[in-house]
Chain A
């Protein structure tokens, strides 16, 4: 077993060796290095064929038409293109946008930008389990709501939103519906034919493809139009100019192909590992799972170990690569905004750790993780004045703390 153990698959995944193998064939003089936009020679034609095949593989995973796939640099760019592009193109319909407080920063900051341009944004507050209900969306929709942007799976707490229900409501209101699917593609089934989703963002590096490549699904039926954010040679039907990076696209295609083939069996294995991890730590006192456990992707578990500060726990768990909802490192001292939005108090938010499990995680690694978590939680609690107070039955909220 190699240390440290990687349990941060929601941040990024290693490239699957099968994917890397494909990718390497599109770079060197011996490979297919041509510009897919070159129409006058076979270097270009071969590259174009490779891009076409990858586009089909990506469309195939989400049951879309290949012509509905627009390549971008990643999910952040896809979110920007979808939100700014649709809000601008359909501005005549109105200037009201709906999103949620637990969205990724790529969505929230883009919405903030539109607010400065005069758009009005409603930020829905999810239930305590992290779920936004269709009723909440229905109540917020207005005749002038031009766009709704809600994520499929949350990056911190892994909860799955009911995008099928949201889609129905948006379609009935003639509102464009964008879904950030960076954390869901390849992990749960996505059927764009059945879903009433107009725009959907994808990323390759969350599913064993390389960083720097992503896609935006742009529905053709009904036809959704966008104002381009990147101008130039008119690539990707004018929606996103810039030479297509053949090697990255081929790699993303291969990653999506593998995901379609292996998703079902892989999910079963990952869920087994997550259950093992959770069972291994949940009998300790004051351990809380953040977000719904039922409506959740298999690979994610976000746990608060009360009375232990997250960053010191991350330091203690130096043999585990995990991430914390505590933000002691940032100058703001603000803990995770996602955990705050679902009503977790500051202490629990500061005490949270996200474990994300993936394709290369083993049972042996999970067992080792359980062992060192248990040891260090005990050690840090022995050192925690808050743990003492809890043990003495003192309510921490009854104390007047000097906030600094």
Chain B
């Protein structure tokens, strides 16, 4: 199938690949998907005391669109508050990357990864 230029760009030059120490209190980790379905995304956010996302990293097992979706999300969340980040939707992601209908699930997974990371942060910081 043909991929959009943006997908190919993110796939060939993925932004922010890597990991933070998941036991660090300022790090939120969201892991979504399943190997059996062909995609697993791990998104990690580094959050400062003001609740702003200072840095983000990802690792993804999945097709090119899944890798591109997670790479894009790491760019988008940086500098955002948790609340702002939680407003990113799969439609925004799929529109930016021009994902075809069969790849929409990749953008849904990326949205889920943000939500999972935020909920991980909230469980680490119940008072936040």
CA A386 – CA B14 in complex, angstroms? Answer: 17
- Cβ < 8 Å to A, chain B residues 1-40: 1, 3, 11, 14, 17, 19, 31-40
Q: Is the CB of A333 within 8 A of B60?
A: no
Contacts from B to A (Cβ < 8 Å):
1, 3, 11, 14, 17, 19, 31-42, 59-64, 66-67, 102, 105, 108-109
- Does A347 count as interface, using CB distance less than 8 angstroms? yes
CB of A384 within 8 A of CB of B60, answer yes
Which residues on B sit within 8 Å (CB–CB) of A312? 11, 62-64, 66-67
Q: Which listed residue (A309, A382, A401) contacts B62, Cβ 8 A? A: A309
Hey, which chain A residues are within 8 Å of B66, CB to CB? 309, 312, 328
In angstroms, Cα B66 to Cα A310, docked, is 12
Tell me, in angstroms, the Cα distance from A394 to B40 when the chains sit together.
Answer: 15
Q: Is the CB of B67 within 8 A of A404?
A: no
Closest residue to A328 on the B side, CB-wise? B63
Q: Chain A: how many interface residues by the 8 Å CB criterion?
A: 31
> Whole-angstrom distance between the alpha carbons of A42 and B11 in the complex?
62
Residues of B contacting A284 with CB < 8 Å? Answer: none
Please tell me which one of the listed residues A326, A330, A333, A385 contacts residue B40 in the complex, with CB atoms under 8 A apart. A385
The interface centre, meaning the residue of B14, B33, B39, B63 with most chain A CB atoms within 10 A of its CB, is B63
* Chain B hits for A326, CB < 8 A: 38, 63
Task: Tell me the minimal C-beta distance from B91 to chain A in angstroms.
Answer: 17
Q: Does A375 contact B (CB under 8 A)?
A: no
Q: Are B19 and A388 in contact (CB under 8 A)?
A: yes
Chain B residues whose C-beta falls within 8 Å of the C-beta of A401 in the assembled complex: 33-36, 40
Q: Given A330-B102, A385-B42, are A346 and B35 neighbors across the interface (CB < 8 Å)?
A: yes
Within 8 A of B (CB), among A318-350: 326-331, 333, 335, 345-347, 350
**Chain A contact surface mostly:** loop
Closest to B41 in A: A385
A331 lies within 8 A of B35 (CB): no
Whether A311 pairs with B64 at a CB distance below 8 angstroms is: yes
* Interface status of A307 (Cβ within 8 A of chain B): yes
A27 lies within 8 A of chain B by Cβ: no
Task: For the A-B complex with A335-B38, A383-B14, A385-B59 known, give 17 more contacts whose Cβ atoms are closer than 8 Å.
Answer: A309-B61, A310-B38, A311-B64, A312-B67, A315-B11, A326-B38, A333-B105, A350-B35, A350-B36, A382-B17, A383-B59, A384-B60, A388-B19, A402-B32, A402-B33, A402-B34, A403-B34
A150 CB–B CB distance under 8 Å: no
Report B37 CB to chain A, min CB distance, Å: 5
Q: How far is the CB of A404 from chain B (nearest CB, A)?
A: 6
Specify which of B35, B39, B40 lies most central, judged by the most chain A CB atoms within 10 Å of its CB: B35
Residues of A within 8 A of B31 (CB): 385
Q: B34 contacts A309, CB within 8 Å?
A: no
Give the residues in chain A near B41, CB-CB below 8 Å: 385
- Which residue in chain A gives the minimum CB-CB distance to B108? A404
Query: Nearest chain A CB to B8's CB is how many angstroms away?
Result: 8
CB–CB B63/A311 < 8 A: yes
What is the minimal beta-carbon distance from B36 to any residue of chain A, in angstroms?
Answer: 4
Name which residue of chain B comes closest to A403, CB basis: B34
Residues in B neighbouring A404, C-beta threshold 8 A: 32-34, 37, 105, 108-109
A176 on interface, CB distance cutoff 8 Å: no
A-B contact pairs, 21 of them (CB 8 A): A311-B38, A312-B63, A326-B38, A328-B38, A328-B39, A329-B102, A335-B38, A347-B36, A350-B35, A350-B36, A383-B61, A383-B67, A384-B59, A384-B60, A385-B59, A386-B35, A401-B35, A401-B40, A402-B33, A403-B34, A404-B109
8 Å CB contact of B60 from A315, A346, A383, A403: A383
Which single residue of chain A is at the shortest CB-CB distance from B11? Answer: A315
Contact code string A109-128 (vs B, CB < 8 Å = 1, else 0): 00000000000000000000
Q: Please give the distance in Å from A7's CB to the nearest CB on chain B.
A: 19
Task: Decide yes or no whether A298 CB sits under 8 A from chain B.
Answer: no
Asked if A159 CB lies within 8 Å of chain B CBs, one says no
A329 and B104 alpha carbons, distance in the complex (Å): 11
Chain B residues with CB under 8 Å of A310's CB are: 38
Cβ B38 vs Cβ A315 within 8 A = no
Contact of A396 with B by CB under 8 A: yes
